[in-house]
Chain A
Amino acid sequence: MKIYVPGDSAAISVGADDVAAAIASKVGDSTIIRNGSRGALWLEPMVEVGTDKGRVAYGPVNVEDIDSLIAADFMHGGTHKLYLGESEKIEWLASQDRVTFKRVGIIDPLSLADYEAYGGLVGLRRAISMSSEAIVEEVKESGVRGRGGAGFPAGIKWKTVADAVSDQKYICCNADEGDSGTFADRMLIEGDPYTLIEGMTIAAIAVGATEGIVYLRSEYPYAIKTLQRAIDIAHAFGWLGSSVLGSKYAFELKIRVGAGSYVCGEETAMLESIEGKRGVVRAKPPLPALEGLFGKPTVINNVLTLSTIPAVLADGAPAYKARGVGRSLGTQVFQLAGNIKRGGIVEKPFGISIEEIVNGYGGGTLSGAPLRAVQVGGPLGAYFGTDKFETSLDYESMLAAGGMLGHGGVVVFDDSVDLAQQARFAMAFCALESCGKCTPCRIGSTRGVETIDLIIQGVKVDENKKLLLDLCEVMTDGSLCAMGGLTPMPVKSAMINFPEDFTGEVSRR
């Protein structure tokens, strides 16, 4: 008899630890497994029980429900008002196409036996049997693009590092998932950490690196704990260390914890931070692929990019690129957040529309008030109204619509949102988090806040709007990285798509 109570921090945030303790105190010996979350976060804490017909689910379960669940014989799949049926048949989950997230929520995150039983290590074992060139070629062929937000083809980056000659190369995983509305990196690490370790090991073999570093944000204490334990177990297993699974390859992996800086999610600022310095952005060139961490050739990829690699190697590039549209191949792990009825992880091939994600999966707003805006792609992404809901969520279509896909976060707002305030926040956040290197970002963001304040107060509105657009142009063109370069995106999109909020009148309504 196995009972699954997610140990994912989102589930914990709504009481999963208490639920697990309450069940343990009532049913004694039965095994409680703290799995990751399957991603239907509105159903958390979602308790599952292994029965003869497979796992069945109940949710959302509160401590007060435990007595009635036991009375209903939930241990054998008994009927109860929280009964959700067989987990695999919950429509919201069953209709998804899980590739990167295929094991998350299903396995015990730290069980290597579970990991292998569900297809883990197949990709790495295949990689070990291949030449480095062939691995890089396979990744190139798959079309996997960087999931951190920039969308750069991973294979091309790897090729640059593989071709560089150096006594030392590094694999750096960017797990500084600072974008509000995104949590896929965190859930992957908490729910299936070995997938990330496998992806990084494959990258190391492909480019000839022997050291890896995961730069993981301090705001994710649960993920840090899980990943460190996974690294320790992988070491003891003979996966990490001087001979990867008995092969000629060596690979060591460490975590470096961030210290509360958003800009350190920018890859060169991240390198500075790993080197122990202020997280100040570097000019490119030189590319980090040639002169990266400690001046050595470095692969920098996001958690989701690296965690997708094992599936690419296991199933081959053709299977991976059979999904998606145009040049956006494979699946994207969308994260549905904010004022949303059914939020969580939706992994689907690129090309699903905003409408399908937000109203289909999300079911509209949590508050029940009319949906007014979405912000796609994090704090540097665009604000869209419902008129843009048919836009396909892929890199090219989002760009054409005046936005970006970013890390795949979709934040939903109801009609209480004031887009002038959201634009102001974008500038204020930039002022707070700017590393200070580029003047347009460092100073421009503060001037931006002041100018938006004047617009809100109704002072020379037309003139100040013109000034603000001019400022946005300077920031876009005159900043080295996306912090200053893309802060204008939420600001301008708010002005263009919601002009009624920038009239300087005290209230729209």
Chain B
Amino acid sequence: MKYSTWSQDAALAVLATLREEKGAVLMALQALQKEFGYVHKEDVALVANFFNNSRADVHGVLTFYHDLLTEPPGDNHISVCVAEACQAVGSRQLEKDLKTKFGKEVHDGYCFGNCALGPSAMVNGAIIGRASVDAIAKARI
């Protein structure tokens, strides 16, 4: 996935689009991640200033949500569902095999709402049902 290179001006431009939103801190962090691929360490202070919050509050939000990343992502993001319905069709083994093969690209997911066609995975935002290591390998960039 292609992302913009982080700069303070670019980050402020993202925040400016959310000026009118009520309770915008989480939205702001999501928007920054969408633009740059992750939340840059200087973003916490920027968001806090922009929306008149404390840095502690913004840091608290950043660290609460599983989606928010604080390191630049790799080329591929593989999320494999490890919740019950997928466990029932072998996701525990699939998760193990994927982690052996693709290492840090693989993240645990908790349900993509594809529970009748599991095991399910999401590769770079595209959903895969009846997932296998091969099918996921094919979907990688």
Given the contacts A221-B125, A277-B57, A180 and B117 also touching, CB distance less than 8 Å:
no
Listed A/B pairs (12) with beta-carbon separation below 8 Å: A10-B127, A13-B128, A42-B116, A177-B113, A181-B84, A182-B115, A261-B65, A276-B28, A294-B23, A338-B85, A409-B85, A417-B88
Taking the closest CB of chain A, its distance from the CB of B53, in whole angstroms, is 9
CB-based closest 3 A-B pairs: A343-B116, A13-B129, A180-B83
Q: Does B46 sit within 8 A of A, measured CB to CB?
A: no
Give the distance in Å from the alpha carbon of A222 to the alpha carbon of B129 in the complex. Answer: 14
Whether A412 pairs with B111 at a CB distance below 8 angstroms is no
Contacts of B111 in A (CB 8 A): 177-182, 219
Q: In chain A, residues 412-434, which have Cβ atoms closer than 8 Å to a Cβ of chain B?
A: 412-414, 417, 422, 425, 429, 433
Q: Does A402 sit within 8 A of B, measured CB to CB?
A: no
Give the distance in Å from the alpha carbon of A183 to the alpha carbon of B81 in the complex. Answer: 14
Q: Does B136 sit within 8 A of A, measured CB to CB?
A: no
Whether B113 pairs with A259 at a CB distance below 8 angstroms is no
Residue of B nearest to A344 (CB): B116
Contacts of A344 in B (CB 8 A): 116
Taking the closest CB of chain A, its distance from the CB of B131, in whole angstroms, is 8
Whether B25 pairs with A340 at a CB distance below 8 angstroms is no
Q: Does A366 sit within 8 A of B, measured CB to CB?
A: yes
Interface of B is mostly: loop
Q: Does B114 sit within 8 A of A, measured CB to CB?
A: yes
Whether B122 pairs with A337 at a CB distance below 8 angstroms is no
Scoring A218, A220, A273, A276 by chain B CB atoms within 10 A of each residue's CB, the highest score goes to: A276
Chain B residues within 8 Å of chain A by Cβ, number: 42
Contacts of A392 in B (CB 8 A): none
Whether A10 pairs with B25 at a CB distance below 8 angstroms is no
Given the contacts A13-B120, A14-B117, A256 and B84 also touching, CB distance less than 8 Å:
no
Residue-by-residue, is B117-135 near A (CB-CB < 8 Å gives 1, otherwise 0)?
1101010010111100000
Give the distance in Å from the alpha carbon of A337 to the alpha carbon of B85 in the complex. Answer: 6
Q: In chain A, residues 6-21, which have Cβ atoms closer than 8 Å to a Cβ of chain B?
A: 9-10, 12-14
Q: Does B45 sit within 8 A of A, measured CB to CB?
A: no
Whether A182 pairs with B84 at a CB distance below 8 angstroms is no
On chain A, which size bracket covers the interface?
A: 35 or more
Contacts of A183 in B (CB 8 A): 113-116
Q: Does B87 sit within 8 A of A, measured CB to CB?
A: yes
Given the contacts A259-B67, A275-B23, A181 and B117 also touching, CB distance less than 8 Å:
no
Contacts of A185 in B (CB 8 A): 113
Residue-by-residue, is A344-388 near B (CB-CB < 8 Å gives 1, otherwise 0)?
100000000000000000000011000000010001000000000
Contacts of A178 in B (CB 8 A): 110-111
What 16 additional pairs, Cβ within 8 angstroms, besides A180-B85, A338-B118, A417-B88? Answer: A9-B114, A10-B117, A13-B129, A14-B129, A177-B111, A180-B83, A180-B115, A185-B113, A221-B125, A259-B29, A260-B65, A275-B23, A279-B65, A337-B115, A375-B84, A422-B87
Contacts of A414 in B (CB 8 A): 88
Given the contacts A256-B27, A277-B26, A337-B118, A9 and B113 also touching, CB distance less than 8 Å:
yes
* B residues whose Cβ falls under 8 Å from a Cβ of A: 22-30, 57, 60-61, 64-68, 81, 83-89, 109-118, 120, 122, 125, 127-130
Contacts of A89 in B (CB 8 A): none
Scoring B66, B83, B116 by chain A CB atoms within 10 A of each residue's CB, the highest score goes to: B116
Residue of A nearest to B108 (CB): A432
Whether B113 pairs with A411 at a CB distance below 8 angstroms is no
Whether A276 pairs with B87 at a CB distance below 8 angstroms is no
Residue of A nearest to B33 (CB): A259
Whether B88 pairs with A339 at a CB distance below 8 angstroms is yes
Residue of B nearest to A277 (CB): B61
Give the distance in Å from the alpha carbon of A425 to the alpha carbon of B84 in the complex. Answer: 9
Give the distance in Å from the alpha carbon of A469 to the alpha carbon of B68 in the complex. Answer: 36
